[in-house]
Chains A and B, each alone.
Chain A
Amino acid sequence: MSVIAPDFKFSKFIQSLISDVVWFVLIFSLIGFPIIMMVLFFIPMPVIDGELLTPFLAFTYLADPTRTLPIVQSFMMTDMFKIMAFPGFGFAALLAAGTIFVERKMLAKLQLRVGPFYCGKFEGILQLMGDGLKLISKEIIIPAKADKPIFWAAPVLFVASAAAFVALIPVAPGWVVADVDMGLLAVFAVIGFFPIVTILSAWSANSKFPFIGGIRALFQMVSFEIPLILSLLGVVMVTGTLNLSEIAASQSSFPWILFLPVGAIVFFITMLAELERIPFDLPEAESEIVAGWLTELSGMMYGLVQLGTYLKLYAFAALFVVLFLGGWNGPQIVPQFPMEIVTNGLELGPVTAKIGGLEPLLTELITPEMINGVLMFVLKTVGVIFFILLPRGVFPRIRVDMLLNLGWHKLIGLAFVNIFIALALVYAGVLGPGGLQ
């Protein structure tokens, strides 16, 4: 008799398995099947063996991998996949989750403690999932005199703004959700939404501490947006484009941080302020104003704001990588795929193992260059995120007047210095047409 499950009986186990299978088949055929059919109607189907794949045929081919992989490939080329999974929300959320875990463990090591330890066997790796479940299961309490529609909408708007920001980040050549020609301007526009969402949430809560926190956040974001925009103008001048993908591609030989270090420093500091990270976490200064503009948010509303915050953190780090560290550019460390095995199959004596449909996927979509680009991008982004997290263990919080003084006097001045450096580089012919690049 097992200690863990004293009532275990093998027959009951088999019975439960069978009942699970029955339920799965029932629910899938009633709900899942129609949904898949509906989705397939919106995906441009590939032509296989000279025959256009229809949704009805797609199911008949499910059993055949040579016809399954093209469907996967065509699905990966849709906008929906890009928005939901790879360069968009899912990828960013995964990195954000990793960031939270790394932040907790790193801060714990810095402070001579253990950090999350028990949840998920290995070093508390599932702690975040546990926290998320807790937040979902908590009751959402709305202040009695709050402006309810706006109060409800604010966390959603916050996540939406963060996701819009994420959509503009090019991860690898061609892998970007929205490849806008005025990409950098779109970034500035999206950043401009955050103070509005913040002040809306704070004002609608109709409470004193959120109000003060919202005002502080407004002060902070507005005063740091100007040096932020100015610090990026240098990059625009030397590249001559606002398209983020082109900016990233232009750094194939060297990243701009080598020529514009002042701009990079200014951008990094303004980034900390925009993200409300220590030492600029005044809008959430707990010893003064409880949790600032988050005070009245509860349950998953708070969880959404946290999700948005970490998405924003990833997006800012990625923007830094794209603008100053060369984006996906880097040494090619991913080896070329052995294409003869892919095309001819793996011959093991008399048997030949071959997966049909893999060849177009690997040559058109998931190329070694693309994997290398993503790897480089992720490595650089994680490095930048590390430096964003580090001040939390080292610095205390600063004061509002010091913050505004820093933003308006010092950073704007430095941003202009950076612009002059960029102009000098362009006019001296070091960079730009006729120069190094």
Chain B
Amino acid sequence: MMSSTNTEQITIEEKPAEEKPAEEKPAAKPAAKPAAKPAAKPAAKPAAKPAAKPAAKPVELPEFEKNISDKIVEKFGDKIVVSFVKENRVGINVDKENVHDVARFIRDELNYDHVESVSGVDYPQDKEIEVVYHIGSYSDPSLASQLIVLATRAEREENPIPGKDATRLPTLRDIFYSVEFHEREVFEMFGVYFTGHPDNRRLLLPEDWADLPPLRKDFAIKGR
């Protein structure tokens, strides 16, 4: 057992060197993207945010959803950025330092009680990986159709060593129990280690997987 894990570790360290040529393809994608990106969604960059916000403001925002976002803004002020307010959806961007507090506030004060989905999104051009929590509520009937889209970003390393590098986020499992398997999946698919998660193990991938986390953009499907 120990010997096999050692070899796995070695292959992990070697892989990125071999994969270097493959990264050219994902690099081609971001080249087209920055043109569209900063205008539409500046994500977690507060500096660009006020410019985009007023552009979206004139469109009338749904009342109820606006209320929810206002409550969060009132509590956290500059620490968060409301990325969008749509029908039934409120998007919140937050730094990884504050994600824990915001999630706790959402659960305790706003009556949201479970996480529907945790999806990671890789942004190689920003050197960041975004993790998006879709938080919903069963216990409050008025919030039944509402979802808070809580997005936070982790540092992205070019040569990932899952679990050992700086790609880390605080876990939300102590706040929302339901993220347990979702965060495990994000860990294996993106290499985002969730600090404080009690069970950071592989879930779906094969046992002998010793390659890049597969949903990162620099992991290319063969033949494509």
The answer on direct contact between A and B (beta carbons under 8 Å) is no
Name A's B-contacting residues (CB within 8 A).
Answer: none
Residues of B within 8 A of A (CB): none
